[in-house]
Structures are given as structure tokens and as C-alpha cells.
């Protein structure tokens, strides 16, 4: 009895938080197919394992049971996505899965997903009205899930690797806000929102990086950015004009502690995705003047009441990242240095900011000088 007990204790079986029993083992040695199954009863898991071992000892080929893509996605999400992907990436992947992959491929067995099946996905999505960016994202998610299925021994190869990824040309280039435009926007906002604009335009983070900032990340000479997207943290030099804005912002917050968010939500914590979406809709896309009850429409001015847009139609707060690139180019900073400060590559800068570089007259003006000049001109226009 003791020998039997020891044999069963070595079985690759563990109890899940849900109360079910999970069996996880390989049919053969390293590199052989892997079986991951869950059972309501521990005895059923043990019986399945004993039967599989017997097949192996008798020299018979054991074919692991196929599972659907929907079933395996739960494993992928728990063991790969949650520990390895950034928060924003998980949100995008979950959306692509729920809206596009699950309805079309969720009931397919993993072994049924062949290169032919994968090659039909882009045309199906485009026929359903999905844009090029969404189609490419859905394809990337499928490729990632199938790659993990190979790792888990569920399939022998990734069918998505045999199919060319859908082509995606950026539908719009970033709008380059020069310091004069940035200062005009800041002048129309309340101090907290003006600080958001300053951070984006004068230190060049991605919005999600800015929203993760804590007070201790603001140093005397540089700002520490948690670069989860690129998996590379970085220090970006702190411009003097931005340092002044952040000092005033800190005083207005009552000198918060080092772990408090630089941009706090209404409850004092970090902004959540809904907070950012609300700010983008209510502040960034807001109208100035006119009739507040009017349902504004028009490019620059409302056709009904004459209100004007705070920001150009079709622009995004993320476009302010281009402002930082621009002021540094005009300051004569090498692209390799700007790329490092922004957490990107020289190739990306050359691709998206070629016009900025080509139109630079060669005159080098320090970044703080450009901002100070624009801010002074804005004060003069406002009569201060």
C-alpha cells in the first residue's frame, strides 16, 4: 500500500483554484506532445494518467485529444498572456479575440486550423468591415496563441507562420504640434489638463507611460518612464519649462508623497482606461465658446454656433509625442539620442518624421528656448 501511495503522489496532478484537478504531462520525452486536461474528480485524472502510461509502456502511439481554440485560449490567457503581456496589450488582445477570432475560429480544433484556414481569415474580417489595423491585430493574436499551443505540445507547428501577415499601412501620420500650438491648447485648459499636455508634448511618452508616472519618477534632471511596451525602461531628460510646470502641479496637489500618481484620478489612484477615454473625449475633443447646448459640427468651427475646436479634428493626444521629437530635432539632437529618449527606433523616427527632418532649416534652437518663445507669444496674445 505504501508503494502504491508513493506512486500516486508522483503523478503530475494538481488541484486548481476552481477545485478541479489538472493533469499535465508529456506523452514521451522532451519535445513530445503534451497533455493538459482537467477533471472534476482526482480519481478520474489518476485513471487517465495510468491508462496513458500503459499505452506508452506497451509501445503504442498515444494521440493526445484535440481541443478547440476557444478551450485552449483559456490556457493561453492564464499561463502566457497574464504573466507576459503588458496591460494595454492584453486589452487589445482580449478585444481581438472576443470580437473577431472567437466567432470565426473558436469552435475549430487546434489541429483543424491549417494554413488554408488561416489564409481565409483576413478576407473574412475585411468583408465584415474590419479595418487593416484590426485585421493585422487579430492575425497577430492567432499567431501568438498557436505558437503557445506548439510550446504546450498541442500541435506540432504553427499554421499562422506559413501565411503572410496582412499588410497594414498607417491610415494617418501623427499631427505635428509645434510649441505655439501646444501652448495655445494649454492656455485653454485647467491646470491639471495643461500638465497632461505638457508631459506628452515636452517629454515624449506614450499616454500609458505617462499615466503610470509616480512622483518619485520625476528626478531633478530626468523623468523615469516604465517602458512596458518595449520592455526597456528609460530616463528622458527633464526640460526646464516642463520642470517648472511639474513644480507648480505638485504644489497644487499639496506636495504628494513619492508613490502618489503624478496625474491622479478622482480617487487619488492612477487613471484607469475609462478615465483616459473620458479625458480624450471631454477635454481633448472639446469646443471653445459658442452655445453649450449645441451639437457642434464642423472642421475648425461649428457651423451652427461658431464655437471652435480646441484641437484639430482627427488628432489624438498621442500625437503630442511628435512635438517632443520635433523640438529635439530642431535643437540639433541626433536621431539616435532622440530614439533612446522616446523608447523607439531611428527607423521609426525616420519613417514618421521624415517631413520634420526634411523641413528643418538647420538652425539649432534649444528645446527650452523654443517652448519659452512660444509661451511668451501666447501670453502676449492673451494680454498678460
Assess whether 218 and 364 both reside in one domain.
Answer: yes
Q: What is the mean pLDDT of residues 28-47?
A: 76
Residue 57: CB atoms within 10 A of its CB come to 8
* Band (56; pLDDT cuts 50, 70, 90): confident
Residue 50 lies in a domain: yes
Assess whether 375 and 274 both reside in one domain.
Answer: yes
* pLDDT at 148 (0 to 100): 94
Grid cell listed for 232: 526597456
Grid cell listed for 12: 503530475
Assess whether 45 and 115 both reside in one domain.
Answer: no
| Contacts (Cβ under 8 Å, ≥6 apart) of 310 | 185, 188, 189, 283, 284, 285, 286, 287, 288
Assess whether 242 and 370 both reside in one domain.
Answer: yes
* pLDDT at 374 (0 to 100): 94
**CATH number of the domain where residue 29 is located:** 3.30.730
- Using alpha carbons, select from 85, 81, 59 the residue that is nearest to residue 72: 81
* Band (45; pLDDT cuts 50, 70, 90): confident
Q: What is the DSSP letter of 110?
A: G
* Band (3; pLDDT cuts 50, 70, 90): very low
Assess whether 48 and 77 both reside in one domain.
Answer: no
pLDDT digits (tens, 9 = 90+) for 64-100: 678 899 999 999 999 999 998 887 789 889 999 999 9
Q: What is the mean pLDDT of residues 12-19?
A: 84
Residue 192 lies in a domain: yes
* Top-confidence range, 228-232, 238-242, 342-346: 238-242
Residue 302 lies in a domain: no
Assess whether 276 and 363 both reside in one domain.
Answer: yes
Assess whether 330 and 275 both reside in one domain.
Answer: yes
Assess whether 263 and 243 both reside in one domain.
Answer: yes
Q: What is the mean pLDDT of residues 49-73?
A: 77
Check: pTM over 0.85? Answer yes or no: no
- pLDDT surpassing 60 at residue 4: no
Residue 257 lies in a domain: yes
Of 190 and 348, which is predicted with more confidence? 190
- pLDDT surpassing 50 at residue 348: yes
Q: Residue 21: helix, strand or coil by DSSP? A: strand
Residue 167 lies in a domain: no
The strand pairing partners of 287, in sequence order, are 309
- pLDDT surpassing 90 at residue 154: no
Of 251 and 53, which is predicted with more confidence? 251
- Tally of structural domains, the chain: 3
Given 57, 87, 103, the domain boundary residue is 57
Residue 301 lies in a domain: no
Assess whether 215 and 269 both reside in one domain.
Answer: yes
- Using alpha carbons, select from 4, 49, 50 the residue that is nearest to residue 22: 49
Assess whether 114 and 89 both reside in one domain.
Answer: yes
What is the spatial distance between Cα 29 and Cα 32, in angstroms, rounded to a whole number?
6
Q: State which residues form the domain around 152.
A: 69-162
- Helix or strand holding residue 90 (H, E): helix 87-96
* pLDDT at 5 (0 to 100): 45
What is the spatial distance between Cα 48 and Cα 27, in angstroms, rounded to a whole number?
12
* pLDDT at 40 (0 to 100): 84
Helix axes 191-203, 179-187, angle to 10 degrees: 170
Task: Provide DSSP, 142-203.
Answer: HHHHHHHHHHTTS-SS-GGGGSPPPP---SSPPP---HHHHHHHHHTS-HHHHHHHHHHHHH
* Band (25; pLDDT cuts 50, 70, 90): confident
Assess whether 51 and 91 both reside in one domain.
Answer: no
* pLDDT at 360 (0 to 100): 80
Q: Give the chain's largest Cα–Cα span.
A: 93
- Using alpha carbons, select from 244, 229, 251, 214 the residue that is nearest to residue 321: 229
Residue 87 lies in a domain: yes
Sign of CA dihedral 339, 344, 349, 352: negative
Residue 93 lies in a domain: yes
CA dihedral defined by 204, 205, 211, 214, rounded to 10 degrees?
A: -90
Assess whether 235 and 349 both reside in one domain.
Answer: yes
What is the spatial distance between Cα 311 and Cα 300, in angstroms, rounded to a whole number?
8
The strand pairing partners of 109, in sequence order, are 68
Of 67 and 37, which is predicted with more confidence? 67
Q: Using H for helix, E for strand and C for coil, what is the string for 49-83?
A: HHHHHHHHHCCCCCCCCCCEHHHHHHHHHHHHHHH
Average pLDDT taken over every residue of the chain: 87
Burial of 137 (0-12, 13-18, 19+ CB in 10 A): buried
Amino acid at each position: 500500500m505504501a508503494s502504491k501511495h508513493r506512486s500516486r503522489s508522483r503523478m503530475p496532478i494538481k488541484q486548481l483554484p476552481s477545485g478541479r484537478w489538472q493533469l499535465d504531462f508529456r506523452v514521451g520525452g522532451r519535445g513530445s506532445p503534451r497533455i493538459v486536461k482537467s477533471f472534476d474528480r482526482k480519481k478520474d485524472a489518476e485513471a487517465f494518467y495510468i491508462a496513458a502510461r500503459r499505452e506508452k509502456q506497451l509501445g503504442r502511439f498515444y494521440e493526445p485529444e484535440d481541443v478547440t481554440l476557444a478551450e485552449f485560449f483559456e490556457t493561453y490567457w492564464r499561463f502566457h498572456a497574464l504573466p507576459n503581456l503588458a496591460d494595454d496589450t492584453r486589452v487589445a488582445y482580449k478585444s481581438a479575440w472576443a470580437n473577431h477570432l472567437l466567432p470565426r475560429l473558436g469552435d475549430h480544433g487546434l489541429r483543424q486550423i491549417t494554413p488554408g484556414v488561416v489564409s481565409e481569415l483576413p478576407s473574412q474580417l475585411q468583408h465584415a468591415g474590419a479595418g487593416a489595423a484590426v485585421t493585422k491585430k487579430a492575425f497577430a493574436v492567432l499567431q501568438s496563441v498557436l505558437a503557445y499551443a506548439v510550446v504546450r505540445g498541442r500541435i506540432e507547428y504553427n499554421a499562422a507562420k506559413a501565411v503572410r501577415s496582412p499588410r497594414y499601412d498607417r491610415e494617418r501620420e501623427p499631427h505635428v504640434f509645434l510649441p505655439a500650438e501646444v501652448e495655445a491648447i494649454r492656455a485653454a485648459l485647467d491646470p491639471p489638463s495643461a500638465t497632461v499636455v505638457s508631459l506628452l508634448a515636452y517629454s515624449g511618452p506614450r499616454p500609458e507611460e505617462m499615466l503610470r508616472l509616480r512622483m518619485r519618477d520625476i528626478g531633478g534632471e530626468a523623468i523615469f518612464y516604465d517602458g512596458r511596451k518595449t520592455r526597456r525602461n528609460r530616463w528622458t531628460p527633464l526640460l526646464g519649462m516642463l520642470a517648472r510646470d511639474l513644480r507648480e502641479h505638485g504644489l497644487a496637489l499639496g506636495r504628494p508623497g513619492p508613490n502618489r500618481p503624478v496625474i491622479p484620478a478622482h480617487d487619488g489612484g492612477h487613471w484607469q482606461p475609462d478615465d483616459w477615454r473620458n479625458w480624450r473625449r471631454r477635454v481633448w475633443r472639446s469646443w471653445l465658446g459658442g452655445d453649450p447646448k449645441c451639437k457642434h459640427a464642423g472642421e475648425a468651427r461649428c457651423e451652427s454656433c461658431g464655437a471652435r475646436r480646441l484641437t484639430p479634428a482627427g488628432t489624438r493626444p498621442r500625437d503630442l509625442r511628435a512635438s517632443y521629437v520635433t523640438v529635439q530635432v530642431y535643437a540639433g539632437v541626433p536621431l539616435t539620442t532622440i530614439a533612446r529618449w522616446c523608447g523607439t527606433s531611428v527607423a521609426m523616427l525616420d519613417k514618421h518624421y521624415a517631413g520634420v527632418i526634411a523641413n528643418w532649416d538647420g538652425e539649432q534652437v534649444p528645446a527650452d528656448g523654443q517652448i519659452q518663445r512660444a509661451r511668451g507669444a501666447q501670453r502676449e496674445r492673451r494680454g498678460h
